Amino acid sequence: MLEVRNLTKRYGGLSAVSEVTTTIEKGRIHAVIGPNGAGKTTFFNLISGAQRATAGSIVFEGQDVTGLRADQVARLGISRTFQTTSLFDMASVVDNLIVGHRLRTRSGLLDVLVNSPRLRREEALCRQKAREALDFVGLSHVANRMAGDISQEERKRVAFALAIATEPRLVLLDEPAGGVNPEETVGLADLIRKMVRHGLTVCLVEHKMDMIMSLADRITVLNYGEKIAEGTPAEIRANPAVIDAYLGSE
């Protein structure tokens, strides 16, 4: 589904991502792990079009998406969540989803804010999609609540809803279980499995190793921007280079 070849992002002398080559298979859960600063978020930024690669290529479903803008990548079927879920706290959860949908699929802020007849026509459809997404992530009951009043775990679920509202085929989840308790982590892992059952492909960055080891079909390990290992959870757990760079310190 996604072919990444020699992907590189340099900041001056520092390579945040360095010649990473990997393939994300359709219908799978693919995890990217590694120590702090290993390049995981930058890797997501490059794939999702938030940042431009210094070198390398990204091919999604046979189409070269290298260098496309984030809104173009979103419209082609890749969406993402962020480590921190930014919401308009004084707006309802469902209104956050509607605005989030526009922000993700349009190129200019004016296009998002302007109250054009076309946007008003789209609004009803958008609202319906937002409600469907909230239902999918189990948040229908908080749809009309102010976003500032919901829990951290519910914010995480809103992030999932934002990501699926654009009807992607590949979803990149950046620390989907960051800041939630172990019981809630299990619930979020179940939600990720449900996404895959509904035909989505998932790539996630996460520090919670129990979650990754039970959830992922395949794991890519980054260290100082380089891919140091790739394989099944069992292979990764037994890999000396990974234990040395990352798992040993867990």
* Residues contributing to the site for ligand ATP (CB under 6 A): 11, 14, 16, 34, 36-42
Query: Per the structure block, which two tokens stand in for 66?
Result: 């290298």
* Cβ distance to ligand ATP smaller for residue 95 or 206: 206
Angle at 201 between CA 200 and CA 204, to 5 degrees: 125
**Could you tell me the smallest distance in angstroms from the CB atom of residue 166 to ligand ATP?**
23
Do the strands 201-205 and 78-80 form a parallel or antiparallel pair, or are they unpaired?
unpaired
Residues 6+ apart with CB under 8 A from 165: 97, 100, 101, 129, 130, 132, 133
CB burial of 141-177 (b: ≥16 within 10 Å; e: otherwise) equals ebbeebbeebeebbbbbbbbbbbbbbebbbbbbbbbb
* Cβ distance to ligand ATP smaller for residue 42 or 185: 42
* Cβ distance to ligand ATP smaller for residue 83 or 92: 83
C-alpha span between 130 and 128 (Å, rounded)? 5
**Could you tell me the smallest distance in angstroms from the CB atom of residue 205 to ligand ATP?**
7
**Could you tell me the smallest distance in angstroms from the CB atom of residue 182 to ligand ATP?**
20
Cβ–Cβ < 8 Å for 205, 32? yes
**Could you tell me the smallest distance in angstroms from the CB atom of residue 21 to ligand ATP?**
17
* Cβ distance to ligand ATP smaller for residue 33 or 93: 33
* Cβ distance to ligand ATP smaller for residue 11 or 183: 11
C-alpha span between 89 and 139 (Å, rounded)? 16
**Could you tell me the smallest distance in angstroms from the CB atom of residue 37 to ligand ATP?**
4
Cβ–Cβ < 8 Å for 165, 135? no
* Cβ distance to ligand ATP smaller for residue 11 or 118: 11
C-alpha span between 161 and 2 (Å, rounded)? 22
**Could you tell me the smallest distance in angstroms from the CB atom of residue 228 to ligand ATP?**
13
